[in-house]
Structure 1
């Protein structure tokens, strides 16, 4: 698989193998695990969702290619407009499939751009907080120490 257009005939098969290797189970088991506990492993949930979209896009592509081949078999030497429309449908289906494959590939690569920041963000959300991020009450002052004077506002002279 290249980083640009996917050259493999079986993009879905290659990515399915990578998913199964990454999570240590086959796709049916992984789908079942995600269905049972969708929030337990956000990466697995995302990969399963996008893998399903990829499989759907591959199915659309397969049908479009079959339709185009069927039309080309009945064409004389010049291709008519309806057949050209089928060719455009195949191109659109390839683009959709490749885009979804790139998303799956991104989820599988922990070093992909944006993945480390995303992982840090998820960890920060999941970490239990021990208190507010900023102090919400006035600091304790010993008796007899006056509170500091308020700072003058911008544009107004100090008194």
Structure 2
């Protein structure tokens, strides 16, 4: 049976492979060869690599915690508690990166429809016949306006 770490990485990797209809190693090679060809694939590979990195850090922190717990009496000292907090932080980092990858994989995720509409609007802006705002400087009078009477400080 797989442990939780293998489940997280395995499930996400399978989702990526299904999304792009190729193995992850093949996808990584394609992205390395042409990173601009598919921006979505490039982002997903980038975040998957970050996820794998955080998973490795989590496993290391867990191993350190197990080693500390094996030598501790009933109560944990401050260094043991610090190690436990590092494990918690590593879990949070790993889970956050997993959420990013899952969000990138979901075309109907919250906020993506707005992003798609915004991108489409940016593309459609190129079809304008003229500028959206005035591009020339406004015409100014040749003389400076006179100072208004009664303004200023009395002495």
Q: TM-score, structure 2 length as denominator?
A: 0.75
Query: After the TM superposition, which segments of 4 or more aligned residues of structure 1 sit over 6 Å from their partners?
Result: none
Does residue 104 (structure 1) correspond to residue 105 (structure 2)? The answer is: no
Structure 1: distance between partners of 2:129 and 2:64: 61
* Structure that is richer in helix per residue: 2
Does residue 33 (structure 1) correspond to residue 30 (structure 2)? The answer is: yes
Structure 2: distance between partners of 1:86 and 1:135: 57
Structure 1: distance between partners of 2:97 and 2:23: 20
Alignment partner of 2:84 out of 84, 87, 90: 87
Structure 1 gaps of 5+ residues are 1-6, 137-159
* Structure 1 pair 125–101 and aligned structure 2 pair: CA distance change class (3 A): same
Q: How many residues align?
A: 131
Aligned to 1:153: none
Structure 2 gaps of 5+ residues are 134-155
Q: Which moved more, 1:63-72 or 1:73-82?
A: 73-82
- CA deviation map 1:102-139 (0-9, x unaligned): 00000010010111222333445557935545489xxx
Aligned to 1:3: none
Q: For residues 27-66 of structure 1, what are the structure 2 equivalents within 5 Å?
A: 27-66=24-63
Aligned to 1:117: 114
Does residue 75 (structure 1) correspond to residue 72 (structure 2)? The answer is: yes
* Structure 1 pair 119–134 and aligned structure 2 pair: CA distance change class (3 A): same
Structure 1: distance between partners of 2:75 and 2:121: 61
Q: Which moved more, 1:114-123 or 1:59-68?
A: 114-123
